[in-house]
C-alpha cells in the first residue's frame, strides 16, 4: 500500500503533540530571540516550563555554486528571510486554537545571506550571516537578533547508505530593548545517512529514509530563563532524528515545498533541556 503524504504529516503532528502531553507552562524558557535559531518545535526545561516556535524561511537563490572539471569554481549566493512565531501555549484539548492570533506571543524576522564554496566534489563550505528584529506582541519588549558562522558538509558512502559529515561553528546573540545583551557559540558535529525506504513510493517516486545524529556544544553556555528570572546554563544538546523524502523531488504541502519531512528528539546531557522539532531539510541547510 502506498503511503499518502497527508498520512505522513498527520503522523508527524501526532508524535509532536504526544511528546508535548505534559505542557502547562506560562513562562518562556528559551529566550524568544533565540527561537529562529532553534527552529520549529517544542522545548521543555525540567517537568513544567515549555516554549513553542514555528519558523518559515523563504529563500531567494542569486547564484548556484558549481565546480568545473578544469577547477573553475563558482561561489553560490542565497538570500533567506526566516519569519518565526512564538506561541503562548499548545494545549492538547484545543490544538486548532493554539494558532489563534491571540495566542501569538512573539514574532521576529531575521534575513540573512549564505555563500556556498565548493571545495571539491564531496566537500562544501557555507559561511553565513543574518541579522533582524523581533518583538513580544503583548508589549513586553523587543530585541535585535543576529548570528553568523560557517558550516561544512563532507559526503561519503557507507555501504547501502549515502552519508554526510556535517560540522559548524557559529555565533548567536540578541540585544534587547531593555537589559543586557546575551550570546553563545554553538559548535556542532552531525552525521546524516539516507537510503531507500524499502519499496515504498509516493507519486511514482522512491521514498528515502533519513537518519540524523547530532551533537552541539554551547561554548560559554546557553542561558535558560527560569521562573524567578534567573538563568540556568545549558552546555550542550544532542539530536536524534528521522525523516522521509522523495527521490529527486521535493515534498509539496499546499503552497510550501520541503526537502524532507520528519521529527527530531533533542536533549541536553544533564537532562534539563529536551524537546521535539520538525525536520524539513538537512542540518546543513537550516
Q: What is the mean pLDDT of the chain?
A: 80
Q: Which residue has the higher pLDDT, 285 or 221?
A: 285
Contacts of 121 (CB under 8 A, 6+ apart): 67
Predicted confidence at residue 89, as pLDDT, reads 66
CA angle at residue 129 from 260 to 55, to 5 degrees? Answer: 40
Total Cβ atoms within 10 A of residue 58: 11
Predicted confidence at residue 78, as pLDDT, reads 98
Task: Tell me 46's DSSP state.
Answer: T
User: What are the C-alpha distances in Å from 235 to residues 41, 80, 152, 182, 271?
Assistant: 20, 28, 22, 15, 11
Predicted confidence at residue 28, as pLDDT, reads 38
- Cα–Cα distance for residue pair 200/274, rounded to 1 Å: 32
Pull the grid cell for residue 164.
Answer: 554526510
Q: Is the confidence at residue 4, as pLDDT, over 60?
A: no
Predicted confidence at residue 34, as pLDDT, reads 78
Least confident range from 19-28, 102-111, 222-231: namely: 19-28
Half-sphere exposure of 221 (CA within 13 A, CB side): 9
Which range, 7-11, 187-191, 224-228, has the best average confidence (pLDDT)?
187-191
**Mean pLDDT across the stretch 120-137?**
94
Task: Identify the band that residue 159 occupies on the pLDDT scale cut at 50, 70 and 90.
Answer: confident
Of 135, 130, 134, which Cα lies nearest the Cα of 146? 130
Q: Is the confidence at residue 24, as pLDDT, over 90?
A: no
φ and ψ at residue 175, rounded to 5 degrees: -125, 110
| DSSP H or E segment with residue 202 | strand 182-202
Task: Identify the band that residue 179 occupies on the pLDDT scale cut at 50, 70 and 90.
Answer: confident
φ and ψ at residue 68, rounded to 5 degrees: -80, 165
Counting other chains too, the contacts that 210-213 makes at CB distance below 8 Å and 24 or more residues apart are 210/241, 210/242, 210/243, 210/244, 210/245, 210/260, 210/262, 210/279, 211/241, 211/242, 212/239, 212/240, 212/241, 212/242, 212/243, 212/264, 212/279, 212/283, 213/239, 213/240
Predicted confidence at residue 262, as pLDDT, reads 93
Least confident range from 27-36, 113-122, 126-135, 257-266: namely: 27-36
Q: What is the largest CA-CA distance in the chain?
A: 61
Pull the grid cell for residue 129.
Answer: 550571516
Q: In this predicted model, what pLDDT tens digit does every residue of 44-57 receive, in sequence order? A: 655 445 567 888 88
SS3 label, residue 283: helix
Domains (ranges, CATH) in the chain? 5-285 (2.40.128)
Going through 76-160 in order, the beta strands assigned E by DSSP cover 76-80, 83-87, 104-109, 112-118, 123-136, 142-158
**Mean pLDDT across the stretch 221-240?**
70
Q: Is the confidence at residue 38, as pLDDT, over 60?
A: yes
Least confident range from 41-45, 59-63, 108-112, 245-249: namely: 41-45
- Cα–Cα distance for residue pair 261/274, rounded to 1 Å: 20
Amino acid at each position: 500500500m502506498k503511503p499518502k503524504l497527508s498520512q505522513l504529516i498527520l503522523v508527524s503532528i501526532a508524535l509532536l503533540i504526544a511528546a508535548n502531553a505534559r505542557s502547562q507552562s506560562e513562562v518562556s524558557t528559551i529566550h524568544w530571540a533565540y527561537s529562529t535559531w532553534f527552529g520549529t518545535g517544542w522545548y521543555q526545561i525540567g517537568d513544567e516550563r515549555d516554549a513553542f516556535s514555528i519558523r518559515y524561511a523563504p529563500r531567494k537563490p542569486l547564484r548556484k555554486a558549481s565546480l568545473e572539471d578544469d577547477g573553475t569554481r563558482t561561489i553560490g549566493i542565497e538570500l533567506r528571510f526566516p519569519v518565526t512565531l512564538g506561541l503562548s501555549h499548545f494545549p492538547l484539548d484545543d490544538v486548532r486554537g493554539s494558532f489563534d492570533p491571540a495566542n501569538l506571543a512573539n514574532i521576529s524576522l531575521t534575513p540573512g545571506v549564505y555563500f556556498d564554496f565548493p571545495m571539491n566534489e564531496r566537500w562544501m563550505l557555507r559561511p553565513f550571516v543574518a541579522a533582524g528584529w523581533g518583538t513580544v506582541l503583548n508589549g513586553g519588549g523587543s530585541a535585535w537578533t543576529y548570528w553568523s558562522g560557517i558550516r561544512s558538509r563532507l559526503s561519503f558512502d557507507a555501504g547501502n547508505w549515502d552519508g554526510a559529515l556535517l560540522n559548524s561553528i557559529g555565533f548567536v546573540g540578541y540585544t534587547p530593548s531593555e537589559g543586557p545583551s546575551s550570546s553563545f557559540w554553538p559548535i556542532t558535529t552531525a552525521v546524516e545517512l539516507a537510503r531507500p525506504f524499502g519499496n515504498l513510493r509516493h507519486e511514482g517516486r522512491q521514498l528515502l529514509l533519513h537518519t540524523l545524529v547530532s551533537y552541539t556544544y554551547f561554548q560559554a553556555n546557553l542561558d535558560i530563563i527560569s521562573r524567578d528570572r534567573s538563568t540556568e546554563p545549558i552546555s550542550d544538546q544532542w539530536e536524534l532524528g528521522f525523516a522521509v523524502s522523495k527521490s529527486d523531488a521535493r515534498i509539496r504541502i499546499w503552497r510550501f515545498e520541503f526537502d524532507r519531512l520528519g521529527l527530531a528528539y533533542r536533549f541536553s546531557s544533564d537532562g534539563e533541556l529536551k524537546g521535539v522539532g520538525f525536520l524539513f531539510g538537512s542540518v546543513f541547510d537550516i
